[in-house]
Structure 1
Amino acid sequence: MTDETPERKLDHIKTCLEKDVEARFGTTGFEDIELVHQASPEIDLEEIELSSSFFGKKLDAPVIVSPMTGGHERGREINVNLARGAQELNVGLAVGSQRAGIENPNLEETYKVREEAPDILLLGNLGVPQLNQDYGPEKVEKAIEMIDADGLGLHFNPLQEAIQPEGETNFEGTLEKVSDIISQIKDPIYLKETGAGITASLASEFVRAGAEAIDVSGLGGTSWAGVETVREKSTTRAGEVFWDWGLPTSVSTAEVSETVNIPVISSGGIRSGLDAAKAMALGAELVGVGLPLFRVSVEGQNAVIEWLEEFIQEIRIAMFLTGSRNIEELQETSLIIKGDTRERFVSRGLDLEKYER
């Protein structure tokens, strides 16, 4: 690792905090999806059960704070505030890519939040491009041990790497390498995208590789092509051309959930508890939220807690208005799918009758 890596991490933090880096025209598709209202839900709002679990850890709500940062002192401040908020409400937290901490022990502290959040589901994070270099099982284990994690996500980010000037674009043989590493790691490993979605066919490959969960991380939220374009003040067209590249989160969530029998996390542009409820009605067991919490985290842990409380209450209200007592019932509730998203469902071979029930 060069000295450029911590500076790149700081660039990413500043860019995500200060610039418009979300998808411009590509959307999650949730705007075309409606939950069907039940005028007499026949349940008590206060008795709705939101608890879930992941990798053996109980969660009081089906929410994970998506990985965003680390590798710079500014990142530690953000991670601490996120961890304290997650501890207060007992939801999950994933740290940003730990490559910087692996290669420079002085940066390990920017990821370490277990003392701040002793009870939460805490997830590590590494990028698969490093697996095609010199990262073997020992470094994956080191990342888990570094933060006393309950598991680790390996992220696929070919779009970002292709746009980033320093990008590592050798993805040849990646799935075989991932499978080999997972087979040698005792802790649970999940596989995820970083804002461009996952198809059903690739999800099946992930299962064969040994993934214990999949985070679809679809189009509609943070665009890492956009982040790299803004960060570099690029004069080339590639970042602009591919800013909205990817499979919308709603479509990716549905097709992956239909395909695999392991937990599916829906993330990428989920901005409200209503979005989250729609994602779970499409089959997700958990939802991930990144940029909104990243931005409020600089205001302190109380801002994180307040944002999460409102988000969780929105999930609860959506469940109440559909007569869903728990997440399992929400996954069986009726949907109306319209417009461009409906066309995408059809073109991807998804069973509309399954969701319209």
Structure 2
Amino acid sequence: MSTEERKLEHIDIVVNENVQSKESNLLDYVRFVHNPLPENDLDSIDLSKDFCGSSLDAPLVITGITGGHPEAEKINDSISKVVNKFNIAMGVGSQRAAIENPKLIHSFSIVRENAPHAFLIANIGVAQLNKGYSIKELEKAIDMIKANAIAIHVNPGQEAYQDEGDTNFLNLISKIEEINEKISVPIIIKEVGNGLNEELIKVLRSINIKCFDVAGLGGTNWIKTESIRSRKKHGYPLKEPGKLADFWGNPTALSIIEARMGAMDSYIIGSGGIRDGLDAAKAIALGSDIAGMAFPILKILKIEGEKGLENYIKKMIYQLKTIIFLSGGKNVYSLWKSKITIWGRLGDELLIRGIEPNEYLNKRIQALLWRMKDHVI
């Protein structure tokens, strides 16, 4: 099967099948302390946020979803128009199909045509670095959408359960280091639904990677997606994941904290089961810079179209403003200093991982003060 055909199957399964993990992303175990007298004006809340050298009007990114098929071009067309309207960030799906078949380039390049000034993220799978991809192919992906950054997605779980998966993950850190020394834009190391961890972040930061998308457990699960895809083709999955399909990985809330512990000066996208403004605010308060979502974008586009997606982003932005207001803040940076409680399973898992929740929250504030120096919070 061609990469192009596989991309269309992925879209169909994500939109029409239950591919969400049964496991929680653990954001339910984070609570903001409400301030009933915030001494602020809601209309003055500033949602602008710096990210990897650029400025967004709101701390949101629609993470890599699709491309590489004529039908996918319609999706990227609609998303990029909404992204342009709100000046938020956008990632495209894996560009491998268009590198293999230049006829598919426009399914990706349309995003830059529609969003000339937006922060756009190119996308290549890390396994391709062991199949002949080099700086040349990555720069093609970047140039295709005039990208501000490139995501190298790390997806061993997905590849392990994809019928035609690429599972050779040997020596990839050294190859990422080599490419990072030559590439024209920042690299974002991106999981796809099973989460990053502190140990890996420390290693990657030591080779000068500074941007991460945690894509934690608790949202769309690509082990489950590939299992469903295999079942639809053969009548049963060629590789049965069992409980891995729902419970394997690092939940989003835990993954955000571990990523920040691993590299206090990094830029972090908190994604994995983000569904509304409260989820996004919690992800940022835990230590991410911006919040990312993908599945609800596809779902809303299917049901309500481009106008529905515009309304969805507008609602998320207003929810973020009111959360900052109701917690006594002035801007997005205030979320890093907001009073929150971490409890239940999230608190327990942090302690098991050697992270005391309140100590972490204090470290997060101190380490991020340099990022706040130009902002009144």
Q: TM-score, normalised by structure 2?
A: 0.91
Query: Mean Cα displacement is larger for which, 298-307 or 127-136?
Result: 298-307
Residue 198 of structure 2 corresponds to 200
CA shift, 1:356, in A, is: 6.5
CA shift, 1:33, in A, is: 1.1
How many angstroms apart in 1 are the aligned matches of 2:95 and 2:11?
15
Asked if 1:251 corresponds to 2:248, the answer is no
How many angstroms apart in 1 are the aligned matches of 2:287 and 2:143?
32
1:351 to 356, 360, 369: 356
Asked if 1:320 corresponds to 2:318, the answer is no
CA shift, 1:57, in A, is: 2.3
- Cα RMSD after superposing both structures: 1.4
Q: Is the 8 A contact 2:227 2:239 kept in 1?
A: no
Asked if 1:226 corresponds to 2:228, the answer is no
User: Where do 5+ consecutive residues of structure 2 fail to align?
Assistant: 363-377
Q: Is the 8 A contact 2:29 2:344 kept in 1?
A: yes
Q: Is the 8 A contact 1:228 1:239 kept in 2?
A: no
How many angstroms apart in 2 are the aligned matches of 1:238 and 1:262?
37
Give the residue type in structure 2 aligned to 1:63. Answer: L
Q: Is the 8 A contact 1:273 1:311 kept in 2?
A: yes
Residue 241 of structure 1 corresponds to 243
**Percent of residue pairs bearing the same amino acid type:** 37
Residue 8 of structure 1 corresponds to 6
Give the residue type in structure 2 aligned to 1:76. Answer: E
1:31 to 28, 31, 43: 28
How many angstroms apart in 1 are the aligned matches of 2:279 and 2:147?
28
Residue 368 of structure 2 corresponds to none
Q: Is the 8 A contact 2:161 2:239 kept in 1?
A: no
Matched residue SS, 2:270: strand
Give the residue type in structure 2 aligned to 1:303. Answer: G
Matched residue SS, 2:50: strand
Residue 75 of structure 1 corresponds to 72
Q: Is the 8 A contact 1:22 1:222 kept in 2?
A: yes
How many angstroms apart in 1 are the aligned matches of 2:56 and 2:359?
28
CA shift, 1:187, in A, is: 1.5
Matched residue SS, 1:111: helix
CA shift, 1:150, in A, is: 1.1
Q: Is the 8 A contact 1:335 1:355 kept in 2?
A: no
CA shift, 1:4, in A, is: 2.2
Q: Is the 8 A contact 1:229 1:240 kept in 2?
A: no
Residue 315 of structure 2 corresponds to 310
CA shift, 1:355, in A, is: 5.7
2:154 to 153, 156, 159: 156
Residue 340 of structure 1 corresponds to 345
Q: Is the 8 A contact 1:334 1:356 kept in 2?
A: no
How many angstroms apart in 2 are the aligned matches of 1:252 and 1:8?
29
Residue 66 of structure 1 corresponds to 63
Per-residue CA shift, 1:92-142, capped at 9, x if unaligned? 000000000111101111111211111111110000000111000010001
Alignment of 1:283-294 (within 5 A): 283-294=287-298
CA shift, 1:333, in A, is: 1.2
CA shift, 1:239, in A, is: 2.6
Asked if 1:131 corresponds to 2:135, the answer is no
Residue 283 of structure 2 corresponds to 279
User: Where do 5+ consecutive residues of structure 1 fail to align?
Assistant: none
Q: Is the 8 A contact 1:51 1:60 kept in 2?
A: yes
CA shift, 1:237, in A, is: 6.2
CA shift, 1:236, in A, is: 5.2
How many angstroms apart in 1 are the aligned matches of 2:240 and 2:196?
22
How many angstroms apart in 1 are the aligned matches of 2:54 and 2:306?
22
Matched residue SS, 1:288: strand
Question: Which stretches of structure 1, 4 residues or longer, exceed 6 Å deviation after superposition?
Answer: none
Matched residue SS, 2:122: strand
1:141 to 136, 139, 142: 139
How many angstroms apart in 1 are the aligned matches of 2:251 and 2:3?
30
Q: Is the 8 A contact 2:230 2:238 kept in 1?
A: no
Q: How many residues align?
A: 354
Give the residue type in structure 1 aligned to 2:57. Answer: D
Relative to 1, partners in 2 of residues 1:258 and 1:169: Cα closer, same or farther, differing over 3 Å? Answer: same
How many angstroms apart in 1 are the aligned matches of 2:114 and 2:348?
46
How many angstroms apart in 1 are the aligned matches of 2:58 and 2:103?
34
Q: Is the 8 A contact 2:211 2:266 kept in 1?
A: yes
Matched residue SS, 2:241: helix
Relative to 1, partners in 2 of residues 1:164 and 1:156: Cα closer, same or farther, differing over 3 Å? Answer: same
Q: TM-score, normalised by structure 1?
A: 0.96
Q: Is the 8 A contact 1:49 1:327 kept in 2?
A: yes
